[in-house]
């Protein structure tokens, strides 16, 4: 069975600080997909990124960057120069590649508060 662990539950930073959200996953499968979703106070879940298990390249998108390391089963998310609008709950999720059958296994989420 697969599992996602987000050990940090709440993080509070001051605006413009950099912050890293940790994600560790467990699976016996060799083909899988990792995701990050953001849930702002309004409640919707917003897709941020997908990474497959064969692509260990780091990715940068504006102030966001992701570090995927298969050796440590981690998929960490860094926000550079955080802003108040980044305040949200961030979920890491794992999906196995099983053709048309799939389900997302989510971590418990990390509540990020960015203070002005």
Partner 1 sequence: DSGVTQTPKHLITATGQRVTLRCSPRSGDLSVYWYQQSLDQGLQFLIQYYNGEERAKGNILERFSAQQFPDLHSELNLSSLELGDSALYFCASAGGGGANEQFFGPGTRLTVL
Per CB under 8 A, residues contacting partner 1 are 32-33, 35, 37, 43-47, 50, 52, 91, 95-109
Q: Are 90 and 110 in contact (CB under 8 A)?
A: yes
Measured at the CA of 21, the angle between CA 83 and CA 113, to 5 degrees, comes to: 40
For partner 1, give the closer residue by CB, 105 or 113.
Answer: 105
For partner 1, give the closer residue by CB, 20 or 31.
Answer: 31
CB of 64 to partner 1, least distance (A): 15
CB of 48 to partner 1, least distance (A): 9
Q: How far apart are the first and last CA of the chain?
A: 41
Q: Are 63 and 81 in contact (CB under 8 A)?
A: yes
For partner 1, give the closer residue by CB, 61 or 101.
Answer: 101
CA nearest 84: which of 45, 41, 111, 113? 113
CB of 12 to partner 1, least distance (A): 20
For partner 1, give the closer residue by CB, 82 or 109.
Answer: 109
């Amino acid at each position: 069975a697969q599992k996602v662990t987000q050990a940090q539950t709440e993080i509070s930073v001051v605006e413009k600080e950099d912050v890293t959200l940790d994600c560790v996953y467990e699976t016996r499968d060799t083909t899988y997909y990792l995701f990050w979703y953001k849930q702002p106070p309004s409640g919707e879940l917003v897709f941020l990124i997908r990474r497959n298990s064969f692509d260990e390249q780091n990715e940068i998108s504006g102030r966001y960057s992701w570090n995927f390391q298969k050796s440590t089963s981690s998929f960490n998310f860094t926000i550079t120069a955080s802003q108040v609008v980044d305040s949200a709950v961030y979920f890491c999720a794992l999906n196995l590649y099983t053709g048309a059958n799939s389900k997302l296994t989510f971590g418990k989420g990390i509540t990020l508060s960015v203070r002005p």
